[in-house]
A and B are shown apart, each in its own frame.
Chain A
Amino acid sequence: MKALFVLSIIVPVGLLTSLRLTGILKGPITISETITLSEMDWEFERPEHDMYIDNRLESVYVNDGLSAKFRVVIGTYSANQVVYDGNDIITIGLGLNSTVVNPNSFIESVHVVFRADSQPSKVDFLLTHINFANLSLVDVTSGWTIEEKQKEAYVRLAGLNHPESVFLWATAIWSLQTQSDQTHQREMTYELTYFNGTTYKKIIQPFQLKVAGR
């Protein structure tokens, strides 16, 4: 009976320890430093008609054995889209490449987040357009802003088998639910967490996307 009692403690603890050690079960990580890079701004006046924009914002960060390239591609502006309930639609491409070079370093996770808008709008990710390498998709959700309420849209990915390099491309749709004289402003961030061989660090690259009312 006593042996059973001891086993009932040892077996779960041992299993837990093994899973942790093998990386199958991940515990919470402690981030020793969070570095927020300079914000990149994009501003655009709302056009009256459809417009092919093709603007690219790109930020490169190289430090501490990590190199990362963060991209935002503003695709097209489509006004008064019937199938989107008459909203104006902006397509956005999101790209990330990152590599670590230090011994025992790896990419832990990549998060892409759209925060609140200044006006009512929605953000949707297109699931079949989320392409990635050496990552696994953890969670994806749409977001919106209405009146005082808001919900963030995000894609969360985790590094697969402690990767030294990762790639991500995603497509998002930003639906503006206002007349063209209203200004929308939304922050979008990349959050890249990596292990530099010693500690975990997080790099945040914010993008400020502003669509000015006409």
Chain B
Amino acid sequence: MGKFHIVRAKALTSTLIPILFLSVLLVFPASATSSWSKPRPASTITYDETIGKAESDSIASTEIAVTIGQYSENDPGYGYNDHLSLKISASANTRKGLQYDWFTWSYNWYTVSEPTGITGDDTGVDLTLPFPVLYYGVEYNHVWVCSNGFLSFDSQSTDPVPESIPNTDKPSSTVAAFWRDLNPAAGGSITYGIIDQTPQLFVISWNNIPNKGNGVPQTFQMVIRGRFQTDAYSENDILFQYQSITKDYPAAVGLEDQVGHKGTSYDNNSLYNGLSLKFGCLNAGYRLEELKIKLSKSDGYAMIDFIPNYLGGYNIFLSETTNPYGDFYVSTIAFAAGLALGEVGIIFETLLIMIETAAVLSGNLSEPSLTPHNAGVNENEAWITALTMEEGASLKPFDSTLAATIEWSFTDPNNRDHFLTITSEATYIDINTGEGDTIPTSVTLSMPTNNPPSTPQTPVGVAYGQPNCTYSYSTSTTDPDGDNVRYQFDWGDGTNTTTDWFPSDVTATAYHYWMETGTKYVKARAQDWNTLWSDWSPSLAVAITSGGGGGGGGGPPPRPRGADQ
């Protein structure tokens, strides 16, 4: 194995991640299924359907999503074998285990004097942080400070009404030292500053800011502690300090994650002047170690091939070979890190990266350098494994994605049932202790042999008619697989009519007129949704005579010879 480099996905900055959080809810239906089954069709069909599944434990979660693309029948390029294209994305993250806890701390008030510029009621300001702040697994360089006693890493809220913590409403990523309706327009100041010690402290102070309701001034501060070099696998501690506050109005105290699914609150009735609360994060050392996609097939009449130019990922570690850009993006990232957030009832939130991001990345080509293991007819399993590594740093990441396009090809002449189990395995470890676990999650695909519809009934309709009069004919059939069917009527004059699709056993009707006299033999056949045709039905003989017939289905015309044969 040669040198290594790290896959970089520059579009996935910390500013994008909150958007991706929200896109979870938009793009992936909570009711997504984990299995897919379609009878093998008799001709090429594009499905473009996605299935997926997520699993989690108390620390991490992993998700797998599979898009079923085109089934190609008798492809000459494949030696006339059939094949099905699949896009697989395995994502995992260890943010689920992140949890802040609070401790009482020694009170030590920091005086800071730089004005934030917040002077109005229900206003805020965006401040540049003096050091990167790792908060619930996302690194931030800016923070929004609101007049109403809170700050947010993701939203510019000025909400004066304190919400319970955690809460899925805005603001998100909220750090609330004393969230209540405060009015700096009526007095006081909101200041900030850096305490130059090791590590640095970033301090924001609300100094004598009056309550909006009764004008009583409140003084408190928030302190974000920088991290030591050795703290690479920990989050920044956050300190709340209360110098002079009152309990005349409710206040929200605590912090919550990016989507408000989890957080840590402190009872505001327990606050007192001179209190110092330190919020520290637990489990920040749990990071991803490895991602694996494994495909297990059922039989020796199928093969699995990874398509090397369509392997990619986010926060994965690739062995380096030639690439045209040196420091580059992965050629194909269709999916990004998934976040199963682990609240009760929320077990499936797979994050698909936005198409725009994929397009940005796909414009830059990397040499595919993961080593896939394909499965020929004599092998049961194909797999690909990627070590994980945070972009731009030698750190293990909170989240990673591995994406691959594969071809599942079949060597039998459509007379066998095929099954495929696709598994994502995410391995995580605690950097500090070396402990960890592997979480698998699987989806299944099957392509059983398709059965054609039964032969339709002999068409039913008038047996005598006149030229240029329209007559109706009906038939029906049963599809043994329960597929929808459509019918083709052969009118015996060189023309035919194909109906719309009908459920199995539902009668279909078609209309026709003949322009010339003679005996016409009307028959029908049925095609199922998977394009397999039935045999032709027996024919109905229809006598078209210039003097006979009721016209348009009217009274019975003279009966021609052999009409009922």
Contacts and interface: CB of A to CB of B under 8 A. Distances in A.
Contacts of A5: none
Contacts of B331: 144
Interface stretch (B12-20, B79-87, B182-190, B384-392): B79-87
B432 to A, nearest CB: 39
B69 A93 contact: no
A92 B77 contact: yes
A91 B79 CA distance: 10
A54 B76 contact: yes
Interface stretch (A25-33, A35-43, A122-130, A205-213): A122-130
B324 A149 contact: yes
Contacts of A127: 305, 374
Given A85-B362, A142-B309, A129 B78 contact: yes
Interface string B344-371: 0000000000000010001011011000
Contacts of A82: 48, 67, 69, 87
Given A75-B77, A91-B75, A146 B405 contact: no
A85 B69 contact: no
Contact of B309 (A52, A122, A169): A122
For A124, A126, A171, which residue has the most chain B Cβ atoms within 10 angstroms? A126
B77 A91 contact: yes
B303 interface: yes
Given A82-B87, A83-B86, A83-B87, A75 B76 contact: yes
For B303, B304, B305, B364, which residue has the most chain A Cβ atoms within 10 angstroms? B305
B76 A73 contact: yes
Contact of A83 (B358, B362, B405): B405
Contact of A52 (B44, B48, B69, B307): B44
B367 A84 contact: no
B303 A84 contact: no
Given A50-B44, A91-B75, A127-B305, A85 B374 contact: no
Given A81-B70, A81-B85, A82-B48, A171 B78 contact: yes
Given A85-B310, A122-B309, A129 B70 contact: no
A85 B69 CA distance: 11
B305 A128 contact: yes
A93 B79 contact: yes
A165 to B, nearest CB: 20
Contacts of B77: 73-76, 90-93, 171-173
Nearest to A94: B77
A78 interface: yes
Contacts, number: 113
Given A81-B70, A124-B307, 11 more contacts: A56-B76, A78-B46, A82-B69, A83-B69, A83-B405, A93-B78, A126-B78, A129-B303, A142-B309, A146-B324, A149-B365
A91 B85 CA distance: 12
Interface string A105-130: 00000000000000010111011110
B58 interface: no
A144 B365 contact: yes
B79 A76 contact: no
Interface of A: 50, 52-54, 56, 73-76, 78, 81-85, 90-93, 120, 122-124, 126-129, 141-142, 144, 146-147, 149, 151, 169, 171-173, 175, 177
Nearest to B409: A129
B358 A85 contact: yes
A128 B380 CA distance: 13
Contact of B78 (A53, A81, A91, A122): A91
Contact of A126 (B67, B305, B322, B377): B305
B303 A91 contact: no
25 contacts: A50-B46, A50-B70, A73-B76, A76-B76, A82-B69, A83-B70, A84-B310, A85-B334, A91-B72, A91-B75, A120-B365, A122-B309, A124-B309, A126-B374, A128-B305, A129-B303, A129-B409, A141-B308, A142-B368, A144-B331, A144-B365, A149-B365, A169-B79, A171-B77, A173-B407
Contact of A129 (B48, B86, B305, B358): B305
Interface string B310-328: 1000000000001010000
A128 B70 contact: no
For A54, A76, A146, A172, which residue has the most chain B Cβ atoms within 10 angstroms? A76
Interface string B396-431: 000000000101010000000000000000000000
A200 B2 CA distance: 35
- Nearest 10 A/B pairs, CB to CB: A75-B77, A91-B77, A149-B324, A83-B69, A83-B87, A75-B76, A122-B309, A128-B303, A126-B305, A142-B308
Nearest to B44: A50
A146 B70 contact: no
A141 B79 CA distance: 21
A127 B377 CA distance: 12
For B77, B365, B377, which residue has the most chain A Cβ atoms within 10 angstroms? B77
A83 B67 CA distance: 7
A208 B405 CA distance: 27
A134 to B, nearest CB: 19
B551 interface: no
B376 interface: yes
B347 to A, nearest CB: 26
A84 B46 contact: no
B309 A144 contact: yes
Contacts of B539: none
Nearest to A93: B77
For A74, A83, A128, A177, which residue has the most chain B Cβ atoms within 10 angstroms? A83
B310 to A, nearest CB: 6
Given A74-B77, A129-B305, A169-B79, A83 B44 contact: no
Given A91-B77, A129-B78, A171-B79, A84 B305 contact: no
Nearest to B68: A83
Nearest to A52: B44
B187 to A, nearest CB: 58
Contacts of B375: 128
Contacts of A91: 72, 75-78
B376 A128 contact: yes
A127 B409 CA distance: 12
